[in-house]
Amino acid sequence: MIHGETQLTGNEQIAQYLSGAYEATDFKTQCAAGWFDWFCSDKALPAKTHKLYKYLLGISKSSKLDLNNSYVFFKNTCPMVGNLYDDFRICDMKSGDVIFTITPKSGFKSDDGTGTVYGKENGFEAPLFKGTWKEIKNWFNS
């Protein structure tokens, strides 16, 4: 979200994505798409936006999510031991609190490329679920 703009719900963000609103490669458009923090080049964001929205679409109908009362933001993280990786956070619209942090494929060497779901449910102390993206998607949609 760009400072001063109204935050869209997750479902509104998805509708904007599907309408092509986030296709432009400029900084403002990519921030509006949901980017909050990144270590990659700005030029890499549009492709990452597309990929992360595909992941989000895969779980958007989950009963574990309420995308009418939450929003999504994206991060590109640089671990001390491992490779850059992307995740997305689903946050409560009213409080701004993170409900889930979803990493489709971790960059940490210790995770061996598996993904994780952390959540408010257990205070983010340990993964709620760990596995491949397909397994994560199944966990959300079960």
- The list of the chain residues with pLDDT below 50 reads 1-4
Q: Where are the beta strands (DSSP E) in 1-142?
A: 35-37, 70-77, 85-92, 98-103, 115-119, 129-131
C-beta of residue 13 within 8 angstroms of C-beta of residue 31: no
Spatial separation of the C-alpha atoms in residues 77 and 1, rounded to whole Å: 18
The predicted structure's pLDDT at residue 3:
39
CA 104 to chain centre: 9
C-beta of residue 71 within 8 angstroms of C-beta of residue 13: yes
In single-letter form, the type of residue at position 139 comes to W
The predicted structure's pLDDT at residue 2:
41
User: What's the pLDDT tens digit per position in 8-25?
Assistant: 999 999 999 999 999 999
Domain boundaries defined on the chain: 10-137
Compute the radius of gyration of the chain from its Cα atoms.
Answer: 14
The predicted structure's pLDDT at residue 110:
63
The predicted structure's pLDDT at residue 5:
54
Query: SS3 of 93, please?
Result: coil
Question: Cβ–Cβ contacts within 10 Å for residue 46, how many?
Answer: 17
